[in-house]
Chains A and B, each alone.
Chain A
Amino acid sequence: MSTPALAPALARRGPAALALRDSLTMLRRDVRHSLRFPMMTVSGMLVPILLMLLFAGVFGHALTSTLGAAGVPGVSYIDFLTPGILVLTAGFAAESTAVNVCTDMSEGIIMRFRTMAISRVSVLTGQVAGSMIRTMISAVAVVAVAVALGFRSSASPLEWIAAAGIFALLSLALTWLTVAFGLLAKTPAGANSLALLPAILPFVSSAFIPAGAMSGGVRWFATNEPFTPVIDTLRGLLTGAGIGDRAVLAVAWCAGMSLAGYLWARALYNRGPAARPAG
């Protein structure tokens, strides 16, 4: 009787090492998918870049005076806008993650993964890691276009690293949440509409104009929604504006959303394949 291949491997290495190895394998699979259809990644960064061109080019002049009225005078609009567009980039990237996950879950190979002695959550962590890499690439492209449009950062290398860290944390949070959306939705179209939320929410935040320039309920919402502290922190790090307690709030929101998204996604995945009548 031949010993099953895995049993000694399980005994020799810890489950954590195996989970890491399986996650890396799944990440390779996800990266291969992206390389096969690079348009997916490119179109993901196109929307935020177009929005940046639109806001900076069309509304930029008018909004600069709004900035002055809202108590942020002397700031060029592109400098104000870029951190907001970065957050939007993470939101749109997360939207395509939901669609990707939902499409992938309908593939027969997921059933195969479920019958294999692998770390179960690795199927999801591979997707999350792949999505985060795509999001980071989009962010770099967005910053490059912003610089071309006149964005100038006052940030030190350390502040750039901190900004990248906050951005990665936001991306992690949004990706886990949208992975859960993708698992929850029955069709890719359904996943898309669920995941519109993280793409739309930044519009009602301090991304385009300061929350202070809004009125009433919208102002309250824009001040208190999770994207605003992240945008404010990025803005502070990149353009030297005051951050105050916003960074702590931003990290707390992102950590909370990451954990909630992870637990939710894992539970949805472990719920197993949709029970279908026998064939």
Chain B
Amino acid sequence: MSEFPPPRPAVGGQPAVLATGLRKSFGDHVVLDGIDLNVAEGTIYALLGPNGCGKTTTVQILSTLLPADAGTVRVGGHDLGTEPDLVRAAIGVTGQFSAVDGLLTGQENLILMADLNHLDRAEGRRRAARLLEVFDLTEAAGKMAMTYSGGMRRRLDLAMTLAGDPRIIFLDEPTTGLDPRSRRTMWQIVRDLAARGVTIFLTTQYLEEADQLADRIAVLDHGHLVAEGTADELKRLVPGGHIELQFADADAMTRAAHLLGGASRDEEARTLEVPYDGSVRSLKALLDRLGDQAVPVAGLSVHTPDLDAVFLALTSHSPAESELAR
């Protein structure tokens, strides 16, 4: 689905988000310990990290909600500290918690946004109607937002963000709590926006989401960016994949181990772990060698490196750390 890259707008030279040495503490608790971000215009950028790692704080700072303790930030080419209103005019934010007015209907919510974006009446109504249609909310337009389902509310939330036609959109955990269908709808919306040249900065704790959507991914842990790059670049950071072979008896395992040098064996589980580069050719070669010698294999599973492994390896927490060190 996202195999072909979205058409990029002409590069204006300015990154959409440029942060250097961003720091933030709440009391003694250091949340961001000097992070740098460089988000190119028209791209999807994912900030990935476990709960409580500072993702939301980052979004709140970049969207002018919280002042940073130190560091310089330019969003949409404007300095966050000296031109917050120009930053606000360029951005749209959909936070983790629903930012819709539950007592207003979907349509009233969108017209409220049009009014606050200082559109004239007719244009505001037109835009509201179009957004209701695009986000499949036309039927529920006259109902109070508090009666909406989670997915509908999230769509209305994003529609409200788009009412101001922002160039840069911050999405804080846009799919947390959504069912799989709503999640996929949200992904498609994000892709469509990016295809129109809108810059998307999203946070997520779902690796799959970052892998699916983002042009670049930054991994945030304990206030530091521990890795940054494309999904493929990040996957290369951890040791490659392997093939796990299961054997019915110890004899077969010994023969196979002899045949396939460099395999690590687990006597108890009767499994062999063979390094694997992910290609079909080497998988076939491995099976051919076992087949030629008629070594009976009870089971086989292929483990390719995924972002999970990267995530676990990079976001160090003591129990997981000792697991990975082995």
Contacts and interface: CB of A to CB of B under 8 A. Distances in A.
Interface of A: 1-2, 4-7, 9-10, 18, 21-22, 25, 28-29, 32-33, 36-37, 107-109, 111-118, 272-273, 275, 277-279
Contact of A277 (B31, B58, B85, B160): B31
Given A4-B89, A277-B26, A25 B102 contact: no
A43 B118 CA distance: 35
Contacts of A277: 26, 29, 31, 52
Q: Which 7 A-B residue pairs are closest in the complex by CB-CB distance?
A: A278-B57, A112-B99, A6-B89, A108-B99, A117-B88, A4-B89, A117-B89
B165 A2 contact: yes
Contacts of A108: 95, 97-100
Given A112-B93, A112-B95, A116-B164, A5 B118 contact: yes
Contacts of A28: 112, 115
B167 A2 contact: yes
Contact of A32 (B103, B116, B161): B103
Contact of A1 (B9, B57, B104): B9
Nearest to B84: A117
Contacts of A275: 26, 66
B101 A29 contact: yes
A25 B114 CA distance: 10
B63 A115 contact: yes
B102 A107 contact: yes
Nearest to A8: B118
B64 A114 contact: yes
Interface string B75-119: 010000000011011111101111111111000100010011111
Nearest to A33: B103
Interface in B1-38: 9-10, 12, 26, 29, 31
A246 B250 CA distance: 104
B297 interface: no
Given A1-B10, A6-B85, A116-B117, 16 more contacts: A4-B89, A4-B90, A5-B117, A5-B118, A6-B117, A6-B164, A32-B108, A36-B103, A108-B98, A108-B100, A114-B65, A115-B88, A115-B91, A116-B116, A279-B55, A279-B173
A29 B104 contact: yes
A25 B120 CA distance: 12
Contacts of A4: 76, 86, 89-90, 166-167
B90 A273 contact: no
B149 interface: no
A5 B165 contact: yes
B182 to A, nearest CB: 18
B160 A9 contact: no
B204 to A, nearest CB: 12
B144 interface: yes
Contacts of B318: none
Contacts of B98: 108
A32 B95 CA distance: 24
Given A32-B104, A272-B66, A277-B52, A109 B99 contact: yes
A107 B102 CA distance: 9
Contacts of B55: 278-279
B51 interface: yes
A27 to B, nearest CB: 11
Interface in B145-198: 160-161, 164-167, 173
B118 A273 contact: no
Contacts of B164: 5-6, 116
A114 to B, nearest CB: 6
A197 B93 CA distance: 38
10 contacts: A29-B101, A107-B102, A111-B95, A111-B99, A114-B65, A116-B164, A275-B66, A277-B52, A278-B56, A279-B52
Contacts of A10: 85, 89
Given A36-B144, A108-B98, A112-B99, A273 B65 contact: yes
Contacts of B31: 277-278
Contacts of A25: 112, 115-116
Contact of A29 (B93, B112, B173): B112
A278 B62 CA distance: 14
Contacts of B63: 115
B54 interface: yes
A32 B9 CA distance: 41
Contacts of B313: none
B89 A5 contact: yes
B86 A272 contact: no
Looking at A2, A116, A272, which has the most chain B CB atoms within 10 Å of its CB? A116
B76 to A, nearest CB: 8
